[in-house]
Amino acid sequence: RKFLVCINHKKIQATNRNCEVTADVRHDGSEPLVDVMFADGERLIMKGANLTTTEMLTALGSRCSAKELKEEQKSKKKSP
């Protein structure tokens, strides 16, 4: 829940208008799970029972940074 609150914050939403957050809350006793689907089809699945909110935010941030760096490298190769 804390992770969801953090990524739904107005300042965070304002930084990326292309980001869509969908919450699927289940009360069936299953393990807390955060499933992030990126625009390129890649998924990041984090098991909330084993991670803190800070660890989840760090993992998401590092994955996004890596994707951003990869896109920058692709665009540099395409433009002479």
pLDDT tens readout for residues 43-56: 888 888 888 989 98
Q: How many domains does the chain have?
A: 1
- Which whole-number Å values give the CA distances from 16 to 6, 13, 33, in the listed order? 14, 6, 23
Tell me what pLDDT residue 54 has.
92
Task: Supply the CATH number for residue 15's domain.
Answer: 3.40.30.10
Q: Which two tokens stand for residue 56?
A: 């989840």
Distance separating alpha carbons of residues 26 and 74, to the nearest angstrom = 39
Does residue 73 sit within a domain?
A: no
Structural domain boundaries enclosing 2: 1-59
One-letter amino acid for residue 75 of the chain: S
Whole-model pTM: value is 0.74
Read off the DSSP letter of residue 49: T
Q: Inform me whether the pLDDT recorded for 40 exceeds 70.
A: yes
Does residue 49 sit within a domain?
A: yes
Closest CA to 6 of 55, 68, 49, 78: 55
Q: Inform me whether the pLDDT recorded for 29 exceeds 70.
A: yes
Confidence of residue 61 (pLDDT cuts 50, 70, 90): confident
